[in-house]
Chains A and B, each alone.
Chain A
């Protein structure tokens, strides 16, 4: 072969390598977008039924200082929230939803037990909470802070936080100044937890914007994050230790929580196996934080050491799920993915089985197919089809405005700017009615139990494209299936009523603490059936601006019996129930 012929042959080979690589990029990109189901063979359907159930709530967004008019859709992009609890102890889950315009009314939907709901917020005193000068609602969490058996309501705002005492389900009374809450906090999340296991619920309230800022009355436009991925000029964190008698003491600094990251979501669970609840914070504009609880005496931040804080992203959700049915609680954090611009991808942090001294996590979101969900917001784990594995419901979409125009270019330009540029709202390009990751398709990822999730949203009936924020799961009609409530920014509250095909069994648990906090928040339950196990914990708020029903729901598929329930109460007591009845809601009280 001559030199020229050899060169030509090699060129052909290299051309094939180049063309093959380009082809592979196209194919793999298609695969990366995830498996999407096209036929209905998943054993359940979700039908949007809010109006039929008597719920006609449409969220009104806030309007802040006119200096922010050019980017108002962004700074006013949160506030739609939902929290579930049986506030009147009638055995039916009720829910509270927040509104965010000045003077708008929040709603408390009482479950009437006949499949319908009625708004009772006005008559019970928790509707008119967005009065001018007090700030606007961002969300709420239920927890029985005085152990009287009735779930109390904590309302967090861009404004003055409010704690409402539940008066035996007949009304709510503001806890007042003796509670010791701060005058102003700009928060998008709060969590009830009993961090010191003293039997009284404490409250974690992490700020988003700096608490010195009143967005309705700005002194300056230099209020924005100092960086898109390294910002530490957000709100301070509050940890309120419950002293009893309706009084709280702020102890965050004393216990080692000094962050000023922009926290959008927080959740608590015993991740380290110590018996004490740890805290996970999903932060916007930066890395997340994992605070390990040292026996209620100290919180130690271990984000980097544990691996969850490798990469700064835009964290917007914190929820936990035993996705492999092996007792390990994985952390799901949502972020931003916009094709062609920003692919942060969501994170599913799964604890390593053999971590050898200290909690270590691997991100398995890509491997399991739950990484790309658009501009993702709230997400919740729950067994939607009662097959015995935890599925994942995700809502998304940031700002749906002009359908044919996008703000993404300008957003990308300002996001890369130096802190002196990005930190001043006056420098942010005007939105001019453009969308930013709007009109997005939701995800309902079904867990096959073998390490793969498939998006079945479109085929099971989740077809809305609102700007979703909060997701809460609850068995609203006590039927043994999880319904889905979605709070949308500037949009209607949606209730997806779930229908699971017959022959799939379930167990639900309504726990009540005695020496533990009465809400049983932090109780860890392990169900064993048919050679399988699944762990869940009672949560005092998780996801994004949301709280699921405290009752724990298990699907067990075609199994006709369950072997064992092991409950570790927050007090540390362990209770075992052999052969628990299936297909019913079991009320379990902590043994004294």
Chain B
């Protein structure tokens, strides 16, 4: 049942936000991103592993793409979803994919097609309550799946590091933390940085890595990179996985498992 919590949360966020504020470019674009992601997952999963994969993960990828990508062109949604899923099957290390799929997809899209697409970068309405609802629901759900420490560490790191950014740039602290009050960040905090497949194994390692994400993001922001969180995760995520796997392999060599 727990595997359905994140898809249910993100669907709830999408529907309530769109009905309240019309945040989507259109149902068709989000719909096609979901369909492409699920179709690609089913085809690639079945052919690769010989069994039908559960579509929940692909659904989250597709809906994330549908919410995040802002573009007048339908192809951006199709290709972003396809790239996201394909990355899971191509960019792998020891049977794990290196990038969170939608993080890879949107980063690639932003980097390769800047004239055609941007990301969701607005508030949903002018009041704080939609965000409060998302924060509460999101916190409950990531706590339920044992990932609250990751989200919480990221938020705390972002807020603290914003003091440094503010001091360096001379901008007010409120202006510096403004992005985290927007919905784009909620998807990032609750769905991307917590992805179980692309986080390191130990709890302390997860806390450290997500702090690194916030730290790299701060440096990117100081260099005026608009979509800093996505690029920070893009850089730190796979690197930490590689290091994690290397450390684990060293431990397994030096301290062989002994079955009793």
Contacts and interface: CB of A to CB of B under 8 A. Distances in A.
Interface stretch (A426-434, A456-464, A540-548): A426-434
B90 interface: yes
B78 to A, nearest CB: 9
Interface in B123-149: 123-128, 131
Interface in A288-342: 304, 310-312, 337-342
Given A25-B109, A417-B181, A427 B172 contact: yes
- Interface bin, chain B: 35 or more
B171 A410 contact: yes
A230 B130 CA distance: 14
Contacts of A312: 22, 122
A1 interface: no
A310 B22 contact: yes
Nearest to B122: A229
B43 to A, nearest CB: 10
Interface in B153-176: 169-172, 174-176
B225 A409 contact: yes
B115 A29 contact: yes
B83 A231 contact: no
A366 B179 CA distance: 29
Contacts of A231: 126
B48 A430 contact: no
A577 interface: no
A230 B108 contact: no
A426 B178 CA distance: 13
A363 B29 CA distance: 14
Interface stretch (A10-18, A122-130, A468-476): A10-18
Interface string A18-47: 100110111011001100000000000000
B72 to A, nearest CB: 4
A408 interface: yes
A363 B184 CA distance: 26
A67 to B, nearest CB: 14
A419 interface: yes
Given A14-B90, A226-B126, A406-B224, A422 B178 contact: yes
A519 interface: no
Contacts of A25: 76, 79-80, 83, 108-109, 112-113
A14 B115 contact: no
A14 B87 CA distance: 8
A430 B170 CA distance: 9
B233 to A, nearest CB: 18
A340 B109 CA distance: 10
B226 interface: yes
B121 A21 contact: no
Interface string B13-55: 0000000011001100000000000000000100110000000
Contact of B226 (A22, A341, A422): A341
Contacts of A33: 115
B121 A416 contact: yes
A414 B121 contact: no
A345 interface: yes
B86 A345 contact: no
A420 B128 CA distance: 9
Interface of A: 7, 10-11, 14-15, 17-18, 21-22, 24-26, 28-29, 32-33, 226-232, 287, 304, 310-312, 337-345, 363, 365-366, 371-372, 406, 408-410, 412-422, 426-430
Nearest first, the 9 closest Cβ-Cβ pairs linking A and B are A417-B178, A340-B114, A409-B224, A29-B113, A18-B86, A345-B72, A416-B182, A339-B114, A418-B181
